[in-house]
């Protein structure tokens, strides 16, 4: 039993019997006609001449797929990948909760119900793409509205909000629906925190009434492989944003945070740990014009590692860059 992460030039060329799901980055392609769940995110790709990028999760197990209005999923015996897509337009706000808050709760409750139904209960990694993430609504930033809904769903579905929470990212996209992709497993994850940062689920309430529900990284085993998912990582030390207005300094601080997570991962890993150079990176930049400077700063630290740069809004207005990574090793 194996899991693989690939970046195909053309996802239509993949062997469908092996694909759990894929990402179309840089294009909103809801009619891609691919037979598996696709998360399409409207974050312009900043390298390779604006061509959309594709990434896919593959397995060598037999897969089964299903689809409902707002959810597409694909499972093997041990793994489950899915994408929830929900538009705010038809959702009435209620009890001071915005449509986005309601949708965030609905989306996560939907995911947890599927995980329970499928007997694949452990949520390992979540990709959250939120339209207008820094916008203000009902007196609260939309990212904070999302956090309220997400946290409420974890509680309503009797999930811990501090123990073994998934690795995640949360980025702003210019338009389209709320889009949440997830990878879950039958075996539990081992979540990892960063000693340089306050755990996000313990952020003080100056950042919003409900702290975000994610861990800094997650380790999970698939057959004889160990997978590492490093969450979106920004220029935050303790709980405070650092290097305001300086995108290169924010980038280097973010990489220092990834390195600190890797040092912590090495203590939990069954493989001896991961080098910065051994991971595959997605870098989100608030300003497309920063791409060259950020890429130079990142490659100076991660060497030949694969780095995809895309434009997206980060969940705090002052943050200019967020870096996530994935890796695996035999164990």
Q: Looking at the annotation, which residues are catalytic?
A: 322
List the one residue from 53, 115, 230, 236 that touches ligand 3EB (CB under 6 A). 236
Is 111 a binder of ligand 3EB (CB under 6 A)? no
**Is there a contact between 309 and 170 (Cβ–Cβ < 8 Å)?**
no
Nearest Cα to 81, choosing from 106, 57, 117, 110? 57
For residue 123, give the nearest of 113, 132, 134, 112 by alpha carbon: 112
Beta strands in the chain (DSSP E): 3-6, 19-25, 38-41, 53-59, 64-68, 71-75, 79-86, 122-131, 136-137, 140-141, 167-173, 178-185, 190-192, 217-222, 225-233, 236-237, 240-241, 280-285, 307-311, 321-330
Site for ligand 3EB in 119-158 (CB under 6 A): 128
- Mapped onto helix, strand or coil, the DSSP state of residue 154 is helix
Binding positions for ligand 3EB, 197-216, rule CB under 6 A: 200, 212, 214
**The one segment of 17-25, 34-42, 168-176, 263-271 that binds ligand 3EB by CB under 6 A:** 168-176
Considering only 32-40, 81-89, 113-121, 165-173, which stretch makes contact with ligand 3EB by CB under 6 A? Answer: 165-173
Distance of CA 89 to the CA centre of its chain: 24
In the complex, least distance from residue 64 CB atom to ligand 3EB, rounded to whole angstroms:
28
Question: By the 8 A CB rule, do 8 and 27 touch?
Answer: no
Nearer to ligand 3EB, 214 or 274 (CB): 214
Nearer to ligand 3EB, 73 or 214 (CB): 214
Please, which residue, 11 or 232, has the CB nearer to ligand 3EB?
232
Asked if 27 is part of the footprint of ligand 3EB (rule: CB under 6 A), the reply reads: no
The bridge status of strand 307-311 relative to strand 280-285 is: parallel
DSSP reduced 3-state for 205: helix
Q: Which is nearer to ligand 3EB, 86 or 168 (CB)?
A: 168
Within 10 angstroms of residue 331's Cβ, the number of other Cβ atoms is 14
Of 234, 262, 298, 326, the residue at the interface with ligand 3EB (CB under 6 A) is 234
Q: Does 172 bind ligand 3EB (CB under 6 A)?
A: no
- Residue 232 sits in the site that holds ligand 3EB (CB under 6 A): yes
Instruction: Return the number of other C-beta atoms located less than 10 Å from residue 229's C-beta.
Output: 26
Binding mask 290-319 for ligand 3EB (x = CB under 6 A): -------------------------x----
The least CB distance from residue 166 to ligand 3EB, in Å, is 9
Question: CB 36 → ligand 3EB: shortest distance, Å?
Answer: 24
307 φ/ψ angles, rounded to the nearest 5 degrees: -130, 120
- For ligand 3EB, the closer CB: 231 or 328: 231
Nearest of 314, 114, 305, 286 to residue 212 by alpha carbon: 314
Binding site for ligand 3EB (CB under 6 A): 128, 168-170, 200, 212, 214, 231-232, 234, 236, 315
């Amino acid at each position: 039993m194996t899991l693989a992460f690939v970046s195909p030039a053309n996802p239509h060329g993949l062997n469908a019997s092996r694909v759990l799901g894929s990402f179309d980055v840089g294009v909103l392609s809801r009619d891609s006609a691919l037979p598996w769940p696709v998360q399409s995110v409207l974050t312009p790709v900043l390298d390779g001449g604006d061509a959309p990028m594709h990434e896919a999760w593959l397995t060598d197990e037999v897969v089964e797929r299903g689809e409902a209005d707002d959810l597409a999923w694909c499972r093997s015996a041990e793994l489950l990948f899915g994408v929830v897509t929900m538009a705010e337009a038809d959702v009435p706000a209620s009890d001071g909760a915005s449509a986005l808050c309601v949708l965030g709760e609905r989306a996560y409750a939907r995911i947890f119900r599927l995980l329970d139904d499928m007997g694949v209960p452990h949520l390992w990694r979540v990709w959250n793409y939120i339209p207008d993430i820094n916008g203000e609504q009902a007196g609260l930033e939309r990212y904070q509205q999302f956090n309220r809904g997400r946290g409420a769903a974890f509680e309503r579905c009797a999930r811990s909000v501090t123990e073994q929470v998934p690795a995640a990212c949360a980025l702003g996209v210019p338009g389209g629906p709320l889009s949440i992709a997830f990878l879950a497993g039958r075996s539990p994850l081992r979540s990892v925190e960063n000693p340089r940062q306050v755990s996000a689920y313990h952020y003080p309430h100056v950042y919003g009434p409900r702290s975000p529900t994610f861990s800094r990284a997650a380790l999970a085993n698939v057959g004889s492989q160990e997978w590492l998912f490093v969450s979106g990582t920004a220029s935050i030390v303790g709980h405070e944003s650092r290097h305001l207005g300086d995108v290169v300094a924010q980038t280097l601080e973010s990489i220092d945070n990834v390195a600190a997570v890797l040092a912590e991962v090495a203590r939990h890993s069954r493989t001896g740990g991961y080098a910065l150079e051994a991971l595959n990176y997605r870098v989100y930049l608030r300003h497309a014009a920063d791409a060259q400077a950020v890429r130079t700063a990142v490659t100076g630290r991660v060497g030949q590692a694969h780095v995809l740069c895309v434009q997206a809004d980060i969940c705090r207005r002052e943050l200019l860059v967020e870096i996530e990574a994935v890796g695996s090793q035999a164990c």
